[in-house]
Chains A and B, each alone.
Chain A
């Protein structure tokens, strides 16, 4: 494999600098980092509050959440940021002609298996992001930029665990 491979993607170091500048802008303008899982939590809280208001009043989690997050949970920084992510991702995909409905998976597995694993992985990631107070964006990346000990720790455990378990799930990817 000595020939130069053509890539359809941005140079990763250029992409990294650009992403770093986006993160710097978030800190400079809004005094905070990027995030993702928090926006889904806002949507969950809003939905549960409107569907089952009495449940919310009796729940330990919602009581604490409402105390620390006054106001409408959908009018939050992260919700607006994630709407932007959908627009930005779509624009990049449109320019690069990558817009297409598909299930991406290794040829060794079926689409159904891929979807089942995606749901399972999502459940774990969703749960872990709540326990760890943020995901790869909010806790690991943004935490590292401000040198938070928690951010570094979470980053090390996310990547460390994924590496440690990679062997068992290799068929899904390679």
Chain B
């Protein structure tokens, strides 16, 4: 039955309408969780506020478990769900550049839009930077094209890589997430600070 668009249960235009509704949910949850504050987001990296860790990993495991059960019940065909391709080099280098951008700028693209929507001007500056960074990438593309396409591995998933059943990997990730939540709660007690 799912994904609805692939199985032509909804039209392409309905898909775009639903994209907007999903975006509204996305923006609403980010803002209510405090992701519109750069100092709250940055708190993650100093231990005084680990909201990012908690929201991010809770969301990842919720969606992962949801997909697993939907697939089990035959509600969704996972072979039609987009799996991000793995380009080993660019995933690591790109991730490292984004990490530097995160600690320097205090946002990621999604949270910057969310902060912009409630009037944060530092988020507006960050979005301006995003545009410049993207133009820099597209204009200089021949210079990093090799790096961008290096070490393509196809679309492997973690359970395939480790050669274990999907459910076992999911269970391991849930346990790892719980361990991280425990560390997060401990860090917030150890490095207490007023909430921003």
Contact = CB atoms under 8 A, between A and B. Distances in A.
A12 B177 CA distance: 14
B90 A132 contact: yes
B110 A23 contact: no
Contact of A147 (B21, B64, B181): B64
Contacts of A34: 22, 26, 110
A32 B31 CA distance: 22
Interface string A76-106: 0110111111111111110010111111111
Interface in B73-132: 75-76, 78, 80-88, 90-123, 125-132
Contacts of A158: 95-96, 98-99, 102, 108
Given A19-B29, A115-B122, A136 B98 contact: yes
Contacts of B107: 118, 121-122, 125
B118 A90 contact: yes
Nearest to A121: B105
B23 A133 contact: no
Instruction: Categorize the interface residue count of chain A.
Output: 35 or more
Contacts of A124: 97-98, 100-101, 104-105, 129, 133
Interface string A129-141: 1111111111111
Given A85-B26, A105-B122, A170-B46, A123 B94 contact: no
Contacts of B20: 80-81, 83-84, 87
Contacts of B33: 9-10, 12, 15-16, 19
Contact of B16 (A80, A92, A121): A80
A15 B26 CA distance: 10
Which applies to chain A's interface (DSSP): helix, strand, loop or mixed?
helix
Contact of A162 (B32, B103, B123): B103
A20 B60 contact: yes
Contact of A128 (B16, B95, B131, B135): B95
Interface of B: 2-6, 10, 15-34, 36-39, 42-46, 48, 51, 54-64, 66-67, 70, 75-76, 78, 80-88, 90-123, 125-139, 141-142, 144-145, 147-148, 153, 155-159, 161, 166, 169-170, 181, 189, 192-193, 195-196
